[in-house]
Amino acid sequence: MQNSSRLALYHYWVAFAVFLPAVVLGAWQMLIRSPLPAPLDDPDAYYASVTLHGTAMAYVVTTFFAMGFGYAVTATSLGRPVRGVAAAWICFVICLIGTLMAVAAVLAGHASVLYTFYPPLLASSWYYGGAFLLIGGSMIWVVLMIYNMTSWKRDNPGQPVPLAMFAITATAILWAWAASGVLVELVGILLPRSLGLTTEIDAGLARTLFSVTLHAIVYFWLMPAYIAFYTLLPQAAGGRLYSDTMGRLTFIMFIIFSVPVGMHHLFADPEHGAGMKFLQSFLTFFVALPTLLTVFSICASLEIAGRARGGRGLLGWIPALPWGEPMVLATGLSLVMLGLGGFGGLINMGYAMNSMIHNTSWVTAHFHMIFGGAVVIMYFAIAYEMWPRITGKPLQSKALARWQLWLWFAGMMIASIPWHITGLMGQPRRVAAFDYSDPFVARMGPLVIISVIGGAILLVSAILLIVILVRSQLGERRLEAPLRYALAVNPPKTVPAALNGFALWNAILLVLMVFAYGYPIGQFFILKSKVPAYEVSGPTNSAGGR
Amino acid sequence: MATDEFHHSAAARPEHVAAPIGSEEAVAALRNGPVGALVVASIAVALLFLGWLAFYFLLFIPRGSVG
Amino acid sequence: MARDQGAFRLHNPWPKIAWGMVALLVVVSTVLGFGVLSRYQQNGPTLDLWNAICRGLGLSADTAPAKEPVPALRTPTRIAWTSNTLDQIAAGDAQRGAFIAMNCIACHGQGGVSTSTLIPTLAGMDPAVIYKQLDDYRSGKRLWGVMGAIGKVVSAQDSADVAAYFAVQSHGLPPLRGYRLPESGRSLREPDPAKRLVYAGDPQRGIPPCSACHGPGGYKLGAPALQGQHADYIERQLAAFAQGIRQNDIFEQMRMIAKQLTPDEMHAVAAFYGARGGAPSAAGVAVR
Amino acid sequence: MAETETNPLRRPLPDGVVPEEEITRTEDHWLAIMLGVLGVMMGVMVVSAATNALHPPSNVETIDPATLHLGGEFAESNLGTAIEPDGSVTVRIIAEQYDFIPNCAQVPVDTPVKFRLTSPDVIHGFLLPATNVNTMVVPGFVAEVRTSFSRVGVYNMPCNEFCGNGHHGMWARVEVVSKERFPRLAATERTSCAKQ
C-alpha cells in the first residue's frame, strides 16, 4: 500500500506543479488581450503561452491527475496494492519525459501551434514527440487499470467490482478510445512530416482524427470528477449513494457516447458532408444523458444525507448538508458550473446553431466552465480528500480549503460569463491583441476587463491551493485514515456481467465508431486533399523548409 | 463494504467529520422517495431546456439562415 | 439475480437492449440526416433522395462553374509554391551560383551586401525569394529597368544556383525565423506607429503585422527578411505596390497592404527595418 | 453544522426495506423524462433545420492550394463579388496568412449570397459577427456558406482560427448595401470595397 500511495502522490504533485504556472500564463493571456496595460505584450509570446497553457492543462495536468487518482482508487477500492507498480513507475517517467520535451519545444518558440495542433501548421518534432510520449505513455496506465480490475475479478469470482474501480477502469478504457485519434494523427501524419519523412499533410484527415480525441478527452478529464460524485461525495456528506446500478450505467454511457460524437467540433469544417455532421450531432445529444442522470442521482444521494442530518420539508435537506466539507462544497459549486457549461454545450452541439458561436470566445468560455470550473474544482476536492490519506498528515486547513474553492468558483464565473457574452457578440478566440479603438471591439472592452478580474481571482486561488498542499505535506504525520467509499442504499451483491465488465460496451462502441467515423475517415483515401506543411519556427534549411 | 467504522473525511479532528448515515435514517429519508432531489433536478433541467429554446428561437434563428 | 433489473426489466436483458438501442440510433439518425435534412438546400432546390444522400455524404458538391462572365485572367507571377518549384530551389548549387553572382556584385555589392540604398542587399535572403523575383523579371511580371534584361538571360537553374549562393552569404539580412525573444511594447498599445505596425499591424485597416512574415520572429514562404535591408529600397517598393507599379505579389497582398499605408507610415516602417539588423552598409539609413 | 455526537456503529441497510425495484423505477422515470426533454430539443432542431434549410457549412470540394493564383476560380482577377445570371451573388475570398483578399467585400441586402473561400496556406476561420456566417477555411478545400443578409451595415470579419503569429492582424469587412447602391458593374467585373 505504501508504494501505491507514493505512486499516487508523485502523480498528483506533477499535476499540481504544472497547474500553477499554467494558471499564471492563463491570467497573463487574459491581460494581454484586454484593454489594460500588460507586461511583455508581444503577440508571439501570447501564442506560445496559449500553446503551453493548453498543453499543460489539457494533457499534462489531467493525465497525471487521472493516473494518480487511478492508482489511489485501485489500491483503496480493491483493498490490495496496485499490481504492476514497476510498470507504473516506468509509465510515470515516460510521461514526465514527454512533458519536458513538449514544454521545452514550446518555450524555445518552436511549437506555437496550440495544443490542438492545427496542421498544416507544423511544430518541431520535439513537441509532437513529447506529446506522443505523454499520451502514448499513459496507455501503460490504461493497461494497468484494466489488468488490476480483471485480476481482481479473477480472484473474486461472482463479486461485483467496486463502483469506484469499475468507474476508473471505464475512465481508462475511454481514454484509450479517445487517445487513439490523436495518437494516429501524431504517428501517421505529424511526426513523419516534422521529421522530414513525408512532404505533405492531409489537414482534413488530421483534423478528423483529432476530433475523435477532442470530445472524448473532455470526458476523460471529467471522469475523476464523476467518480468523486458517485463514490466519495455521498460518504463525505454523510449519506448513501442512491443507486449503484445507475452509477455503472452512467460510466458505461460515457464510454459509448463520448467518442463517436467528436465531429461536432468540425461542424464548420468544409471536409465533411452535412449528413455525417447530423449523425454525430444526433449522437451528441445522448452524451448529455449520463450527466442528466448523474444530476438526479447525486441530488438524491445528497437528499438522503441531508435528511439524515435532520433536514425536513421539501428542500430543508439542502441547508442541512455539511457544506463545510470541501468535497460537499466543491460538488455544489461544481454542479452550478456544470449546469452553465452544459448549457453552453447544448448550444454548441445544435447542428446549424453551432455557426452562431463557432470559434468565438463562447467556446473558450464553455470549456473553461466545464473543465476549468466543474472538473478542476473536483480535482481540488479530491486532492483535499486524498492528501491526508496518502501522507497521513492532516489538511492545513479546511477553512483555507473552503476559501480556495469559493475563490476558484467566483473567479471562474467572473471570467467565463463575460466571455460567453463577448462570444455571442462575435469576439474571435485565441487572438493575441484586440484593437480597442475599433468601435466593434470597444463594446467588448468592459466585459473583457471583468473577465481579467476573474483571471486574477483564479490565480489567487491556484496559489492558495499550492499553499494548502505544501503546508499539509510539511505537517506532522499523525493520521491513520483509510479512504472509504460511499455505500449504496442497496449495496450490490451480484450484478449482471454486463454491468461488471466492458466487453459488450467496447463491442458496441466499435460498431458506433465505424458508423460515425468510418466514412468521414475513409473518404480521405479518395479525396485529393494533401497540402504542404508550414513550419511555425521557420524553414529548417533554405528553400521553404525543405 | 462495511460501514461499521467511523466515517473519515478530509478533516483533522473527529468532530469535523460528518456523521455516517444509518439504516433507520436512510429508510426515513427514502420513505417518500427522493422528492426534494426530483424537484431540484427538475428545476435545473427545466431552466436548461427553456434557456436552450430561448437561445434557439431568440438568438440563433433571427441571425439568419445559413447552409 | 434479485438486483439485476437495472434500468429495464427483462430477463438477461443487457445485450439485447443495448444492441437494440444502437440499431435504433443508427436507423433514426441516418433517416433524419440523409433522408430528411440533406434534401433541403439553402438558396437551392430541394433534392431527391439519391442526391440528398450524395450531398449529405459530401460526394456531390456545389462545384458547377458559375455561369456569370469571368473577367480577363490576371496573374501576378508564374511561380507557384508547388513541390516541383521547391525541389528546384532546393537543388540550387551555391558554388555554381558564385560564378553567376559575379555579374551581380557591381550593383548588389560584394557578397550581395549592397552599398546603394536603392538596391537591395541579397546576402542572407531566402533563396525562394530570389528565385521567384528572378522568374518574375524573366516573365515580365516585375518590371524594373535592367533586371528585366538580366532575368531573360538567366535560366531557372541559374536562378536557383545564384539564390543558393546569396542565401548563405553573411553580413547581410538575418535568417528568417518563426520565433523571437518576447519583449514589451509589441502590441497595439505601443505609441510608436512604426513599431506598432511592424509588430501588431492595424486590424481596422486589414494590415497584418509586418513581422509575422518579414521578421523578426516571423516567416512566410516567398517573403523576404527586411531587417537590415536598405530603408530607401523598402520605402520605394512600398510606394510601387501602393501605386500598382509593382504587381508581382501573389494575391495582391502587398498591394492591398501598401494602399492602406500613408506615405509617412511607409517611411517610418522602412526606417524601422533599415535601422535594425545592423547591416554593415548602413549608408542612408534613416533614424526613426 | 452541529453533529449528533452519538455516532453509534451502524449496520448496513436490511434488505428489502427500500427495495431496489423502487429505486430502479424512480431512476427509470427520470431517464424517460430526460429522453423526452432531449427528444423535444432534437425535434425542434430537425424541424427548423428542414423548414429553413439550416445546415452547418458542408460543401465538400477539394482544390490545389499551391496554384490558386495561376488561374481558375480563385485567381486575383476573379476575387470579390460577382452577380450570377439569376440575380444572386457569389463572393470569392482568399484567406491567407494574414489577410483576407479582398479585405472588404460588398454584397446587396435581401439577396441570396454564396461565399466561397479557400486558403493557399494554413487553416483560417471566416466569421461575420451577429450573423450565422461562420466557417473554417481549410487548405485543400473550398469552404462555402450560403445565406442572405436582412440588414444593411458593415460587418467586421475577423479570422477566427489560429493561423500563425500574425493571426490577430487578420481582420476584414463585409459591407451589406442596399440593392440600389450595389454596383451593376459586378455583373461583368468583380467588385469589392477594398481601396483600389
For residue C284, what pLDDT is reported? Answer: 37
**Inter-chain contact C80–D20, Cβ cutoff 8 Å?**
no
Q: Does A496 touch chain B (CB under 8 A)?
A: no
Residue of A nearest to D139 (CA): A531
Pair (C51, C87) in one structural domain:
no
- From residue A79, give the alpha-carbon distance in Å to each of A89, A164, A389: 20, 12, 14
Q: Does C46 touch chain B (CB under 8 A)?
A: no
On the question of a cis peptide bond just before residue A397, with omega within 30 degrees of 0, the verdict is yes
d(CA D99, CA C22): 46
Which position among A11, A53, A366, A420 bears the catalytic label? A366
SS3 D171: strand
d(CA A224, CA A382): 9
d(CA A329, CA A233): 10
> Is residue C40 one of the residues assigned to a domain?
yes
Q: Which residues pair with D144 in a beta bridge?
A: D116
For residue A496, what pLDDT is reported? Answer: 87
Closest-CA distance, B10 to chain D, in angstroms, reads 16
Range among A432-446, C176-190, D177-191 with highest mean pLDDT value: A432-446
Cell of residue A33, nine digits: 488581450
User: Tens digit of pLDDT for each residue in C66-123?
Assistant: 677 888 899 999 999 998 999 999 999 999 999 999 999 999 999 999 988 999 999 9
Nearest Cα neighbor of A100 from A61, A124, A127, A137 is A127
For residue C276, what pLDDT is reported? Answer: 58
Pair (C142, C215) in one structural domain:
no
Pair (C203, C277) in one structural domain:
yes
For this structure, is A296 an active site residue? Answer: no
For residue B23, what pLDDT is reported? Answer: 62
> Is residue C71 one of the residues assigned to a domain?
no
For this structure, is A429 an active site residue? Answer: yes
Closest-CA distance, A322 to chain B, in angstroms, reads 7
DSSP C153: H
User: Contacts of residue B67 in chain C, CB cutoff 8 Å?
Assistant: 40-43
Mean pLDDT, residues C131-152 taken together = 91
> Is residue C177 one of the residues assigned to a domain?
no
User: Contacts of residue B65 in chain C, CB cutoff 8 Å?
Assistant: 42
* Residue pairs between chains A and C whose CB atoms are closer than 8 Å: 193
Closest-CA distance, B34 to chain A, in angstroms, reads 5
In sequence order, the 6+-apart residues with CB closer than 8 A to the CB of A294 are: A226, A229, A230, A250
For residue C66, what pLDDT is reported? Answer: 65
For residue B19, what pLDDT is reported? Answer: 53
Nearest Cα neighbor of A50 from A114, A102, A120, A127 is A114
On the question of a cis peptide bond just before residue C65, with omega within 30 degrees of 0, the verdict is no
d(CA C101, CA C114): 13
Chosen for mutation from A166, A329, A347, A485 (greatest number of chain B CBs closer than 10 Å) is A347
Pair (C114, C158) in one structural domain:
yes
CATH of the domain at C249: 1.10.760.10
A 300-329 → B contacts, CB under 8 A: 300, 302-309, 314-318, 322, 324-328
Query: Subunits with at least 3 CB pairs below 8 A relative to chain D?
Result: A, B, C
d(CA A236, CA A270): 49
For residue C4, what pLDDT is reported? Answer: 38
Cell of residue C260, nine digits: 492602406
For this structure, is A219 an active site residue? Answer: yes
pTM: 0.92
SS3 D153: strand
Residues of B with CB under 8 A from a CB of D: 1-6, 15, 17-23, 26-27, 30, 33-34, 38, 41-42, 45, 49, 52-53, 56, 60-61, 63-67
For residue A380, what pLDDT is reported? Answer: 97
Whether D9 shows a pLDDT value over 80: the answer reads no
Give yes or no for a contact between C182 and A42, defined as CB atoms under 8 angstroms apart.
yes
For residue A396, what pLDDT is reported? Answer: 84
- From residue A175, give the alpha-carbon distance in Å to each of A91, A164, A256, A258, A263: 15, 16, 12, 10, 17
Closest-CA distance, A452 to chain C, in angstroms, reads 17
For residue A308, what pLDDT is reported? Answer: 81
pLDDT tens per residue, chain A (546 residues)? 577 888 999 999 999 999 999 999 999 999 999 999 999 999 999 999 999 999 999 999 999 999 999 999 999 899 889 999 999 999 999 999 999 999 999 999 899 999 999 999 999 999 999 999 999 999 999 999 999 999 999 999 888 999 999 999 999 999 999 999 999 999 999 999 999 899 889 999 999 999 999 999 999 999 999 999 999 998 888 888 889 999 999 999 999 999 999 999 999 999 999 999 999 999 999 999 999 999 999 999 999 888 888 888 889 999 989 899 999 999 999 999 999 999 999 999 999 999 999 999 999 999 999 999 999 999 999 999 888 888 888 888 889 999 999 999 999 999 999 999 999 999 999 999 999 999 999 999 999 999 999 999 999 999 999 999 999 999 888 777 677 788 888 888 888 888 999 999 999 999 999 999 999 999 999 888 899 888 888 775 444 444
**Inter-chain contact B52–A322, Cβ cutoff 8 Å?**
no
Give the closest of C2, C127, C188 to A435, CB-based: C188
For this structure, is A278 an active site residue? Answer: no
Number of domains in chain C: 3
What does the mean pLDDT of chain A come to?
92
What does the mean pLDDT of chain C come to?
87
Give the closest of B4, B42, B61 to D10, CB-based: B4
- Count H helices and E strands in chain C, helices first: 13, 0
On the question of a cis peptide bond just before residue A157, with omega within 30 degrees of 0, the verdict is no
Half-sphere exposure of C146 (CA within 13 A, CB side): 6
DSSP conformation letters of A155-218: HSTTPPPPHHHHHHHHHHHHHHHHHHHHHHHIIIIIHHHHTTS-SEEEHHHHHHHHHHHHHHHH
**Inter-chain contact B66–D26, Cβ cutoff 8 Å?**
no
**Residue-number span of the structural domain to which C43 is assigned:** 9-56
Closest-CA distance, D1 to chain C, in angstroms, reads 36
For this structure, is A358 an active site residue? Answer: no
Give yes or no for a contact between A432 and A382, defined as CB atoms under 8 angstroms apart.
no
Which position among A6, A83, A402, A429 bears the catalytic label? A429
User: Tens digit of pLDDT for each residue in C34-54?
Assistant: 999 999 999 888 999 999 999
Closest-CA distance, D6 to chain B, in angstroms, reads 9
d(CA A60, CA A23): 13
Give me the residue spans of the domains in chain A. 2-545
What does the mean pLDDT of chain D come to?
87
Give yes or no for a contact between C170 and C124, defined as CB atoms under 8 angstroms apart.
yes
Give yes or no for a contact between A148 and A203, defined as CB atoms under 8 angstroms apart.
no
State the pairing for strand pair D89-96/D99-101.
antiparallel
**Inter-chain contact C66–D96, Cβ cutoff 8 Å?**
no
What does the mean pLDDT of chain B come to?
73
**Inter-chain contact D38–A288, Cβ cutoff 8 Å?**
yes
Phi-psi region of A535 (alpha: psi -120 to 50; beta: other; left: phi over 0): beta
For this structure, is A6 an active site residue? Answer: no
Whether B18 shows a pLDDT value over 70: the answer reads no
Pair (C161, C236) in one structural domain:
no
Q: Give the angle D14-D18-D22 at the CA atoms, nearest 5°.
A: 145
Q: Does C84 touch chain D (CB under 8 A)?
A: no
d(CA D90, CA A33): 35
Which position among A430, A434, A502, A517 bears the catalytic label? A430
In sequence order, the 6+-apart residues with CB closer than 8 A to the CB of A254 are: A170, A174, A219, A222, A223, A226, A287, A290
Give yes or no for a contact between A387 and A472, defined as CB atoms under 8 angstroms apart.
yes
> Is residue C179 one of the residues assigned to a domain?
no
From C167, C202, C225, give the residue that closes a domain: C167
DSSP A110: S
pLDDT band, residue B21 (cuts 50/70/90): low
For this structure, is A46 an active site residue? Answer: no
SS3 C287: coil
Whether C205 shows a pLDDT value over 80: the answer reads yes
Give yes or no for a contact between A246 and D28, defined as CB atoms under 8 angstroms apart.
no
**Inter-chain contact A120–D18, Cβ cutoff 8 Å?**
no
Q: Does A355 touch chain B (CB under 8 A)?
A: yes
> Is residue C282 one of the residues assigned to a domain?
yes
State the pairing for strand pair D89-96/D113-118.
parallel
Query: Subunits with at least 3 CB pairs below 8 A relative to chain B?
Result: A, C, D
Pair (C200, C119) in one structural domain:
no
Please state the three-class secondary structure of A168-179 as a single string. Answer: HHHHHHHHHHHH
d(CA D6, CA A251): 37
* Residue pairs between chains C and D whose CB atoms are closer than 8 Å: 176
Q: Which residues pair with A202 in a beta bridge?
A: A530
The third-level CATH classification (topology) of the domain covering A2-545 is Cytochrome C Oxidase; Chain A (1.20.210)
One-letter identity of residue D90: T
Whether C11 shows a pLDDT value over 70: the answer reads no
User: Tens digit of pLDDT for each residue in B39-66?
Assistant: 999 999 999 999 999 999 999 999 999 9
**Inter-chain contact D55–B23, Cβ cutoff 8 Å?**
no
Residue with cell 539609413: C285
d(CA C197, CA D144): 32
Half-sphere exposure of C33 (CA within 13 A, CB side): 25
For residue D68, what pLDDT is reported? Answer: 94
In sequence order, the 6+-apart residues with CB closer than 8 A to the CB of A107 are: A48, A52
**Inter-chain contact C213–D166, Cβ cutoff 8 Å?**
yes
- Give D187: exposed, middle or buried? Use CB within 10 Å, 0-12, 13-18, 19+: middle
**Inter-chain contact A546–C86, Cβ cutoff 8 Å?**
yes
Give yes or no for a contact between B26 and A240, defined as CB atoms under 8 angstroms apart.
yes
Q: Which residues of B49-60 are buried (b: 16+ CB within 10 A; e: fewer)?
A: beebeebbeeeb
